[in-house]
Chains A and B, each alone.
Chain A
Amino acid sequence: MLDIALTFSLATVVLALLLNVYRLAKGPDMPDRLLALDTMYVNAIALIVLMGLWLNTKTYFESALLIAMLGFISTVAVCKYLLRGDIIE
């Protein structure tokens, strides 16, 4: 039962990543691309968690935490750049 659920979950996350890539390539404006990139960070964390379940190891969860922090900080930095034209004033 767990194998089927894990396979389904992996398939949906990969499909979600493909949809994000579509929005990243097409998005008419800069905030659309930024939103797609932020969602891709979250989906990458989901993929790492599912890989940890698949391989039965907890080694990669630190990298998931790191990706969460870097994703948030880079989103805030690009938002500040778009709002003010400068990151650190």
Chain B
Amino acid sequence: MTHYVILEGVIAFLLVAGGAFVLIGSLGMAHLRDFYMRLHGPTKATTLGIGCMLMASMLYFWVVDGRPDAQEVLITLFLFITAPVSAHLMAKTGLHMQLRHVDKTQGRPSELREEEIGEKPVPHPDRGHG
């Protein structure tokens, strides 16, 4: 009997942590001032939050059905693999479009230097010959 109580506590903790992380990720995306800052919230906190929720769901159905199932593990793996790829692509898009950044944002990639932005835009590396 006691280990059901412990498992219920673990599932409840994972649910609460997942909800908190998802909220923190979206709060960071809504609140921060700069696209390069905003990229941090959803890509890290939201991924961790949904990982917690899927672990909670997997544990719950393991306890209820009596056997583990691979579906939640599949969703978790897929999300954890694709989140950094889409974040990298979005960061590349932001740099390519030369979005404005506040002074507190650290790092000065060559795409965002002042002398490059003004008259002459940076040529895309794949289109450099034209």
A-to-B contact residues, CB < 8 Å: 1-2, 4-6, 8-13, 15-17, 19-20, 22-23, 29-32, 34-36, 38-39, 42-43, 45-46, 49-50, 52-53, 56, 58, 61-62, 64-65, 68-69, 72, 75-76, 79-80, 82-83
Contact = CB atoms under 8 A, between A and B. Distances in A.
B117 interface: no
B55 to A, nearest CB: 10
Contacts of A2: 8, 11-12, 15, 60
B89 A11 contact: no
Interface centre among A4, A31, A34 (most CB of B within 10 A): A31
Nearest to B31: A19
Interface of B is mostly: helix
Contacts of B89: 75-76, 79-80, 83
Interface of B: 8-9, 11-13, 15-16, 18-20, 22-23, 25-27, 29-30, 35, 38-39, 42, 46-47, 49-50, 53-54, 56-57, 60-61, 64, 69, 71-72, 74-75, 78-79, 82-83, 85-86, 89-90, 92-94, 96-97, 99
A39 B29 CA distance: 9
Contacts of A16: 22-23, 25-27, 46
Contacts, number: 156
B20 to A, nearest CB: 6
Nearest to A10: B19
A46 B22 contact: yes
Nearest to A11: B19
A53 B63 CA distance: 12
A5 B15 CA distance: 6
B50 A35 contact: no
Given A5-B12, A31-B99, A42-B79, 7 more contacts: A1-B9, A13-B22, A19-B26, A49-B50, A56-B64, A61-B72, A72-B86
